Structure 1
Amino acid sequence: MDIEFVRSRFIKHFDGETGNVYASPGRINLIGEHTDYNGGFVFPGAIDKGMIAEIKPNGTDKVRAYSIDLKDYVEFGLNEEDAPKASWARYIFGVCREMIKRGVAVKGFNTAFAGDVPLGAGMSSSAALESTYAFALNELFNGNIDKFELAKVGQATEHNYCGVKCGIMDQFASVFGKAGSLIRLDCRSLEYEYFPFKPEGYRLVLVDSVVKHELASSAYNKRRQSCETAVAAIKKNHPNVEFLRDATMDMLKEVKSEITAEDFMRAEYVIEEIQRVLDVCDALQVGDYETVGQKMYETHHGMSKLYEVSCEELDFLNDCAKECGVTGSRVMGGGFGGCTINLVKDELYDSFIAKAKETFKAKFGRSPKVYDVVISDGSRRLV
């Protein structure tokens, strides 16, 4: 992503004056899917793709915003009734409103922004956009809001202005990202810890199936319900169990006859996945990337066979990775489409990508998209 490009568009649209330039990254999640709403751990990292925005206060009570990628310009006020119609502008408006609710004296500004986070590939372009503006407005208007609250501003924007009831992981990773580190976030206590991720001799690559399944939200709600049903059954014997994170496989087996086979499978996946995150953290402490890869394959198997949120295309890409000797591969994100995330030895990279593209196209009639990612820094000012 090019600062000079964003600046040239800003100058063109706003009379030649320059402001400050800010950036926030998209994210990957190495392991830990469907653990967040079960009180478990997630393990994200910021990536070298994200959003860049130039911003300059304009002395009015109006925001003048230009989306470089969409070639679209919107103006809006800062009161609740001023919400813009354009969906992309609602993210910026929502961040302004959430900052104002937290006592920040946000005034009008001019802004132009662009991104290189691929849309719909599960790398959280919206969180990158929210984090960029939350970080920028906090600095420009002397907000004194801490980084955790900035992540919550982005989350609240999704909830209150964009109609998405997301967790905190995406915004958290975007704000807190650190080059060469992944972050283990405890979704219950919100405590976090950095772990080294410097896979010398390996590359991290996403292979995008370019599949979107319409049933994702209803299927997601159903799985969440399964987890809650299992917890309620376990709680009768173990009153201290609030989430599946508190349960063991032995506790789950005690109630096997009281819940459906489907609910049992869903809970089994989650309990095992929470443990896998901890195992991966231990492996990274000693630089054991082979164990990391093995756990990624175990996650894919669990998401495909127990949680049943994979799809034919993702299973195909996972099998292809296995056949090519890729160290680790799994579906990334909630499932029902999107990408696999792959940990690939340098010397296998070219042959794996060539085979994945060729065989996927032969079977499904289109090519998957490929994105190399490097773990990078979080929200910051560039200029």
Structure 2
Amino acid sequence: MIIRSKAPLRLGFAGGGTDVSPYSDSKGGAVLNATINKYAYVTLVPRRDNKIHITSLDYDIVADYKVDQRLVFDGEMDLAKGVIEKFKRNQDGFELYTHGDAPAGSGLGSSSTMVVAMIGAFKEWHQIPLGDYDIAHLAYEIERKDIGIKGGKQDQYAAAFGGFNFMEFEGEQIIINPLRIKPHIVNELQYNMLLCYTGGTRPSARIIDSQVKNFVSGKKDTVEAMDFLKQNAIDMKKALLTGKLNEFGELIPSLMKCTRKRGRQEP
């Protein structure tokens, strides 16, 4: 038996960072994003022994473990280890192969998307009845709480739900609003967008650390920037739904300015 799973990467249009605690807990966050036709892929092959064999095809890394072995998060294959620990059953071993259409740090939510894809494979293998909210919540717990990787919630929910979504975050309450956008609007948006790979990576953990520190200390620029990003997500959602793509595009420069401001550190 061979089990294959994939989950889509996402473009974050607006509101990124407002899904991160403590801002989302105290003021509520809002994010607008959409998944694209680039994916994280997982292949799971059950074995008839007690060996676990993991291969990252992107990084040419191979790791072997035993089913009854406690996996330690040490920077090597941590995402896979987190999912395996969550789904351990009285089972035989297996082989797990992962690869993606975008590298980690690309800004497309690739790490969280890979976790969602792996959950999908184990869900199928063990025949566990999990809905989209369940999968996203598990992915968030694995990545943010179990492994301790800093970040928000939008990536996991985008990968689990797919499509265009307006997401609302308030403490533990998360509401995903799938957007029904007319095909001609989607076509025009696609025609006017270009996705480029710069070869660099985004230091998201450092940005989030700075954002949280600035917000907790009540730094005015950061708080105002976060409030603006949330309102920007609402405004861009309205522009997208009504097909006002010029207005949609005009909101991006101010969005980028505030995105930089929210995590700015004092010199």
Q: Normalising TM by the smaller chain, what interval?
A: 0.7 to 0.9
* Partner in structure 2 of residue 219 of structure 1: 210
Once the two structures are TM-superposed, the CA of residue 278 in structure 1 deviates from its matched residue by 1.1
Once the two structures are TM-superposed, the CA of residue 111 in structure 1 deviates from its matched residue by 2.1
SS in 1 for 2:14: coil
Decide whether the 8 Å contact of 2:31 with 2:154 is kept in 1. yes
Flag the structure with larger Rg. 1
CA distance in 2, matches of 1:165, 1:105: 31
* Of 139, 142, 145, the match for 1:157: 142
State the aligned residue count: 250
Identity across matched positions, percent:
19
Once the two structures are TM-superposed, the CA of residue 22 in structure 1 deviates from its matched residue by 1.3
Q: Structure 2 stretches of 5 or more lacking a match?
A: none
* Partner in structure 1 of residue 4 of structure 2: 21
CA distance in 2, matches of 1:71, 1:274: 39
* Partner in structure 2 of residue 259 of structure 1: none
Decide whether the 8 Å contact of 2:17 with 2:152 is kept in 1. no
CA distance in 1, matches of 2:97, 2:202: 29
Decide whether the 8 Å contact of 1:98 with 1:156 is kept in 2. no
* Partner in structure 2 of residue 67 of structure 1: 56
CA distance in 2, matches of 1:24, 1:156: 18
Once the two structures are TM-superposed, the CA of residue 19 in structure 1 deviates from its matched residue by 0.9
Cα 1:206–1:292 shift into 2, 3 Å: farther
Decide whether the 8 Å contact of 1:51 with 1:128 is kept in 2. yes
CA distance in 2, matches of 1:300, 1:159: 25
SS in 1 for 2:174: coil
Cα 1:163–1:147 shift into 2, 3 Å: same
Structure 1 length as normaliser, TM-score? 0.59
SS in 2 for 1:132: helix
**Match status 1:205 vs 2:195:** yes
Amino acid of the structure 1 residue aligned with 2:165: I
* Partner in structure 2 of residue 300 of structure 1: 256
Once the two structures are TM-superposed, the CA of residue 32 in structure 1 deviates from its matched residue by 0.7
Decide whether the 8 Å contact of 2:45 with 2:95 is kept in 1. yes
Decide whether the 8 Å contact of 1:26 with 1:124 is kept in 2. yes
* Partner in structure 1 of residue 234 of structure 2: 278
CA distance in 2, matches of 1:199, 1:62: 47
CA distance in 2, matches of 1:289, 1:176: 24
CA distance in 2, matches of 1:132, 1:308: 30
**Deviation readout 1:288-343 (Å, 9 max, x if unpaired):** 11111111122123234x53649xxxxxxxxxxxxxxxxxxxxxxxxxxxxxxxxx
**Deviation readout 1:166-220 (Å, 9 max, x if unpaired):** 2221111111112xxx211101131111222604141242463736569545423
- Please provide the CA RMSD for this pair: 2.6
**Deviation readout 1:257-289 (Å, 9 max, x if unpaired):** xxxxxx222222222221111111111111111
* Of 72, 96, 111, the match for 2:84: 96
* Of 47, 51, 73, the match for 2:40: 51
Cα 1:85–1:35 shift into 2, 3 Å: closer
* Of 122, 145, 149, the match for 2:107: 122
* Of 166, 183, 206, the match for 2:165: 183
Cα 1:160–1:81 shift into 2, 3 Å: farther
| Paired residues for 1:103-142 under 5 Å | 107-142=92-127
Q: Structure 1 stretches of 5 or more lacking a match?
A: 1-17, 230-262, 311-383
SS in 1 for 2:221: helix
Structure 2 length as normaliser, TM-score? 0.82
More helix, by proportion = 1
CA distance in 1, matches of 2:225, 2:122: 41
